Amino acid sequence: MGKDYKTKKFEIEYAKCVWGLLCSLSSVDQERNNISLFNVVEQINIPIEFFVQQKKENKNLVFPFSYEVVLCWRRTLDIGISNEEILADFKIKVVDPSGKILQEILSPLKFPKGIKRLRSRLVMQGMLASMAGDYAYHVEIKLPNQNDFEKVLEIPLEVREVSSPK
Amino acid sequence: MKIEDDKTIDARYVRIKKGQITHTKKERDWLLFDCAANGDVLGVEILDFSKHPVSIFTVGKNFFGCSLIKSKPLGKDQESLGLTVDSPEHEKDSQFAFA
């Protein structure tokens, strides 16, 4: 037991993802330092013609749909205990209903000294939709003490196929 | 995407996919694209990475574009920071989509 204690590597979790979601628009109140999220997106309706066209062209098309991926991160240790700069990276993987990764975004994440919380807002102008069904946005982080990315959050999105109004 | 950091020279290399690099395209003084003969981007090199935090977008296994991250402290107590990453289609001055 004593040996285990000596050889065990204690991993410090420097930062964690507190929450994340998709929305049409977010707006930050500069004075109060709060964020407003407008139209949180859980489902999008795509006209059936889009999928028909996609099949015809035999390639993934971008559905024009403006949205934001908003993530909130925070230090796990209080800045009174550890106030070091944290340099990490995060990835967002857009996974379709068949499990295929359609899109990947790699982004650095830097907690400067004295900063407790971070918000990441990724503004997207379109979405790749290979089929109707349940999509997932996998959020992964690679902290300074880690060799690989670790999934910390999964944001679901349902894509529904709808008939266009006549 | 595989990240290789060289902290001694403050540079980052992101390998997008394997292949033979035939030429390098200089997008900015600090942003270089290693390309294959068919024009595919195989790797992205970012110099002065601490000054140029860049997000990289891929579609499938292909490079789609990259975007400079804008960050600013928020509120009076400055204890949190807002980072905005725009996808390559957005805001032309901060994006470097490869075309």
pLDDT digits 0-9 by tens, B18-59? 999 999 999 889 999 999 999 999 999 999 998 888 899 998
Nearest to A125 among B1, B56, B90 (CB): B90
Shortest distance, CA B76 to any CA of chain A (angstroms)? 7
Residues in chain A within 8 Å Cβ distance of B84: 120-123
Q: Provide the ipTM.
A: 0.80
Best of B64, B80, B86 to mutate (most A CBs within 10 Å, chain A): B80
- Tens of pLDDT, residues A81-101: 777 888 899 999 999 999 999
The range of the structural domain enclosing residue B40 comes to 2-94
Residues in chain A within 8 Å Cβ distance of B73: 115
Query: Is residue B40 a part of any domain in this protein?
Result: yes
- Tens of pLDDT, residues A105-121: 999 988 888 888 888 88
Query: Is residue B99 a part of any domain in this protein?
Result: no
pLDDT above 90: percentage of residues in chain A: 51
Stated as kind and residue range, the H or E segment containing A21 is strand A15-29
Provide the number of structural domains found in chain B: 1
The CATH number of the structural domain formed by A16-162 is 2.60.40.10
Q: Is the whole model's pTM more than 0.90, yes or no?
A: no
B78 pLDDT more than 50: no
Are B85 and A120 inside 8 Å of each other by CB? yes
Report the distance separating Cα B60 and Cα A106, nearest Å: 13
Shortest distance, CA B59 to any CA of chain A (angstroms)? 4
Name the pLDDT band for A11 (thresholds 50, 70, 90).
low
Q: What angle do CA A18, B49, B87 make, to 5 degrees?
A: 55
Nearest to A159 by CA among A88, A60, A89, A18: A60
Are B55 and A106 inside 8 Å of each other by CB? yes
Residue owning tokens 């700069």 = A85
